Structure 1
């Protein structure tokens, strides 16, 4: 009787269910494809393999950050550069102190804030560099999802390029030039001209995306390179003038400026010319092709330029407010978000036209 009664008592198990102990399966990503297996919009000239399939879940493109495909280098090089720019700027801000972030405490009790206008252009430069590099990495990571996503992300990348161009122009205008360049006609119209050329670069790149693709490679590259080249020649003019006159008081920033002047045209060359993949189609699909070299060189150029601006900032900071005036600096910095809005509106108009 007791045996039969005990058999009716439910047994309680304290063992963990098998589901709790089983490891989660690793996320599976679709394999890469040949160029003939993806639509023409997503193909690059002389690149035969390594394409991600179009139209799969967004999660797959995000996770493809850790997958080997033909955009891996194009994603990681600007992404790592953006992290390095942000970390290096943070270290510089902490070590230098005294309002390097554009704001500082004031008053005998340390209460209240005031804007440190002399450091704001450097802050905006760092913001522009991180914005540009992040937009570039995001565009290359996600653009294979669909036709609308491709065009939207390219437009976003164009805005990032324009923002970076103007951020460079603003910082170089304040920290790098000497008095001779500032008093010249070019120095007087520098910032307005830089803003116009930055917007024109963004608008032209969006227009190219609407009208040309790989079937018109020469027209496409010419329309992209010409406004960017004009903006670069303008932006680098204060550096070129000082290199020509050798008017740096110390040699700390001089080699850095020389290096950035060398690196940017070299990166532009690889952006414009499909070398070396044109000589061996398919051999440089995953590493070594021109657009990857362009991103690597541009990332290094950005890091070198930031270091050069740090040196110029430390040298010029005591005289910046006296030479430019706080009102002029604040107005010049206020033009930065205005340019961002103008470029964003232009890109949005292009996106709406593409959808229509």
Structure 2
């Protein structure tokens, strides 16, 4: 029986070297003692990528097994799911009766900004963990970008929770009256404090570095979650499908904060959880689940509140509240750029 050839042998031979050039194999990972102290994590002994390689190598390390692989993929997959879930929600709930369902207008803009903020923080985090080993300058710049993403997400949450998840009693309270300006200020302070702590302290990090990060972020979270906390405390959970989801996202956030603060379980078994299972990976996974639960809760609250939103808040007030979102983003980005210049000057001074 004659054999059928699907490709000329010479074409295959020419294609393989091209494929090898386009997708080069990355060098193997190294131990902690083989990378500068800036790139080391406590109790993580192996799985580090060598520094000083090309950007393409770090981009391709997305498909390599190292101690940042799960950090990157957990947030990349969460970002993709946030976008896909929002698209499904917009399609399934679009075109309903007037004042119900989803359509792009002043009442739905805070929900769009929330989704944008979630994708921003997840993407910035994934990029920072994927590319930060390139150089010390890249390490600082990318994590400053990561902190901008966190601040943007904090304010995106605050905006959506204030407009969709709050009740009248909370909005009329003293905190409710100053909520959005306070949330914006705390988001910017969180970004600034995290950037400062990253730039100011060197490994081994002292305890007050962690406190410098956690205190502003903790206060910001307590303020941002106050509309939900008040509603959880004053309403029956059986009356709204959003409330159990809000409670779930609070629990997931508290668990993620624990693993962000404490290097467990790797503290007790150094080297055993280098690739899978160390505390920062658990923090990433729990925070991703927290975001997904919060998004589902906001979908329910959006459908609950939307018919009366424009009448209750006024279209101009809604648009003004949404306009504060890019202003906060710009302030955080300028802060990160200023910190980046200081980091660059500090590195140049150390190299002299």
The reply to whether TM is greater than 0.5 is yes
CA distance in 2, matches of 1:338, 1:306: 23
Q: Is the 2:190–2:216 Cα contact (8 Å) retained in structure 1?
A: yes
Asked whether 1:29 is paired with 2:26, we answer: yes
CA distance in 1, matches of 2:43, 2:221: 28
Aligned to 1:146: 135
Aligned to 2:187: 198
Aligned mate of 1:235, from 224, 230, 233: 224
Cα offset, 1:101, TM superposition? 6.6
Cα offset, 1:88, TM superposition? 0.3
Cα offset, 1:217, TM superposition? 3.9
Asked whether 1:18 is paired with 2:15, we answer: no
Cα offset, 1:322, TM superposition? 1.1
CA distance in 1, matches of 2:227, 2:32: 45
CA distance in 2, matches of 1:64, 1:216: 27
CA distance in 1, matches of 2:12, 2:102: 48
Aligned to 1:219: 208
Aligned to 2:262: 273
Gaps of 5+ in 2: 1-6, 346-352
1:1-356 aligned within 5 A: 18=10, 20-22=12-14, 23=16, 24-25=19-20, 27-98=24-95, 103=104, 116-246=105-235, 250-356=239-345
CA distance in 2, matches of 1:166, 1:197: 9
Cα offset, 1:219, TM superposition? 1.8
CA distance in 1, matches of 2:202, 2:75: 23
Cα separation, partners in 2 of 1:101 and 1:351, compared to 1, 3 Å: farther
Q: Is the 2:196–2:339 Cα contact (8 Å) retained in structure 1?
A: yes
CA distance in 2, matches of 1:340, 1:101: 25
Q: Is the 1:101–1:123 Cα contact (8 Å) retained in structure 2?
A: no
Cα offset, 1:249, TM superposition? 7.3
Gaps of 5+ in 1: 1-14, 104-115
CA distance in 2, matches of 1:256, 1:171: 15
Cα offset, 1:97, TM superposition? 1.1
Aligned to 2:350: none
Of residues 248-257 and 296-305 in structure 1, the stretch that sits farther from structure 2 once superposed is 248-257
CA distance in 2, matches of 1:250, 1:120: 26
Cα offset, 1:265, TM superposition? 0.9
CA distance in 2, matches of 1:231, 1:260: 16
Higher Cα radius of gyration: 1
CA distance in 1, matches of 2:87, 2:44: 39
Cα offset, 1:17, TM superposition? 7.0
Would you say how many aligned residue pairs link Structure 1 and Structure 2?
330
CA distance in 2, matches of 1:189, 1:345: 24
CA distance in 1, matches of 2:327, 2:197: 23
Q: Is the 1:135–1:160 Cα contact (8 Å) retained in structure 2?
A: yes
CA distance in 2, matches of 1:333, 1:184: 21
CA distance in 1, matches of 2:235, 2:220: 23
Instruction: Give me the TM-score of the superposition, normalised by structure 1.
Output: 0.90
Q: Is the 1:151–1:351 Cα contact (8 Å) retained in structure 2?
A: yes
Q: Deviations over 1:24-62 (max 9, x none)?
A: 335210000000000000000000000000001111100
Aligned to 2:3: none
- The structure richer in helix per residue is 2
Aligned CA-pair RMSD: 1.6
